[in-house]
Amino acid sequence: MRHVRAAVAAAPGAPFTLRDAVLEDPRPCEVLVRTTAVGICHTDLGMRDTWPAALTPMVFGHEGAGVVEAVGAEVTGLAPGDRVCLTFASCGACEQCAAGHPAYCLGARARNFSGGRADGTTPLSLDGAPLHAGFFGQSSFATHTVVHRRGVVKVPSDLPPQVAAPLGCSGQTGAGTVLNRLRPEPGSALVVLGAGGVGLSALMAAVAAGCDPVVAVDPVPSRRALAVALGARAALEPGDGLVAALREITGGGAHHVVETTGRADMARPALAALRPRGELALLGIGGEVAFDVMGLLSRGVRVHGVLEGDSDPGRFVPELIALRARGLFPIDRLVTTFPFEDIEAAVAAMRDGGAVKPVLTFGEPGAV
């Protein structure tokens, strides 16, 4: 057992409040990680606002990075002192995991969204009562977390933790959609709707893959400017005339469109911006959208739903780190750091567009 500091949501939609909690020692298949950085994702906020009251109080956070402090008896390949990136949980045994697609693990809900481990327990307690955790298998809005071995990826010791953190979700979601699922040919036209952390990760991957042109769409001027700096030929505002502009820039329509906003009103322009036999990848968490089926059939359009970039993190996160080392995936340029204690300020900066990828950083051990 150890005392930790965690950002707790006491009820659905409640603000994050720093509380002292108690964390269990790792089980044989688990790893104890001291958190050094954790990204904030729109999923953290959306899920916090809609989280079942019965599963509160709850600790969110799913883009953790840190240092291994202890490993369970069954854990191999990791040791205390290792620098790691944390990612989503999967069983490793079902047909999807065995096929190299753990994002679609048949046990994903229980392992990522149940408010605890797959067996219903939680490693955290607050004032002697269970504190729900296990969000994406980690709940890394805390100074320490206990994570199943499959959710831990070793990273180079010189990789800054604020860079490692977003690789576990937004980085691999955007980049993986391009590199693992769409797999565009060099010279393909690719459009990204939404220039947040996921969208810009997709854009960087598209540029690295040789797509041309790459076009971003976002309402925030600073994000459009960043998209161009990262290699987009153009960055446009959404609104009237968008589809015509996209079709002109892409020479008759994009080969691929990556939709990251989750907004139902973006589905129609996303499809309209495609050329015949184009592909649309839907990444944003949203509600129902309506498609003109005849329009899909007549143009041979393919629609993909993609989680976590269809990534196998143990393989793909190191690939992204290697791309960054070659200057082809400069995810550092998306990051703005905030002290862990300023989590609500970081949330506000992401919501108002001031920060593309806010990352919380933690003080030295013993400073809490």
Tell me: pLDDT of 367 over 80. no
- Average the pLDDT over 325-344 and give the result: 97
- Average the pLDDT over 36-57 and give the result: 95
Whole-number pLDDT of residue 11: 96
Distant-in-sequence, close-in-space partners of 262: CB < 8 Å, separation ≥ 6: 283, 284, 285, 286
Whole-number pLDDT of residue 158: 97
**Mean pLDDT of all residues belonging to the chain:** 95
Tell me: pLDDT of 132 over 90. yes
Tell me: pLDDT of 286 over 70. yes
pLDDT per residue over 235-260, tens digit each?
A: 999 999 999 999 999 999 999 999 99
> Edge-to-edge, what's the strand order for the sheet holding 58-59?
58-59, 2-9, 16-23, 124-126, 129-131
Helix (H, G, I), strand (E, B) or coil at 344: helix
Q: Which residue has the tokens 């862990």?
A: 340
Q: Where are the beta strands (DSSP E) in 10-118?
A: 16-23, 30-39, 58-59, 64-71, 83-86
Q: How many CA atoms lie within 13 A of 220 on its CB side?
A: 16
Tell me: pLDDT of 196 over 80. yes
Identify the CA nearest to 133 among candidates 28, 40, 33, 61.
Answer: 61
| Burial grade of 228 (CB within 10 A; 0-12, 13-18, 19 or more) | middle
Q: In the 8-state DSSP scheme, what is residue 132?
A: B
Whole-number pLDDT of residue 25: 97
Spatial distance between the Cα atoms of 64 and 340, rounded to a whole number of angstroms: 12
Whole-number pLDDT of residue 368: 33
Least confident of 254-263, 279-288, 324-333, 357-366: 357-366
Q: What is the CATH number of domain 171-307?
A: 3.40.50.720
Q: Where are the beta strands (DSSP E) in 159-315?
A: 190-193, 214-217, 234-236, 254-259, 274-282, 302-305
The C-alpha R_g of the chain, in whole angstroms, comes to 20
Residue 365: pLDDT band (50, 70, 90) is low
Handedness of CA 136, 14, 39, 339 (dihedral sign): negative
Spatial distance between the Cα atoms of 251 and 245, rounded to a whole number of angstroms: 10
Whole-number pLDDT of residue 364: 63
Residue 349 host element (H or E): helix 343-351
φ/ψ (deg, to 5) at 101: -125, 60
Contact 247, 273 (CB under 8 A): yes
Residue 320: pLDDT band (50, 70, 90) is very high
Whole-number pLDDT of residue 287: 75
Tell me: pLDDT of 366 over 60. no
Handedness of CA 41, 42, 48, 51 (dihedral sign): negative
Spatial distance between the Cα atoms of 72 and 89, rounded to a whole number of angstroms: 17
Domain boundaries, the chain: 2-154+330-361, 171-307
Query: What length does the chain have?
Result: 368
pLDDT per residue over 139-151, tens digit each?
A: 999 999 999 999 9
CATH of 2-154+330-361 given 3.90.180.10, 3.40.50.280, 3.70.10.10, 3.40.50.620: 3.90.180.10
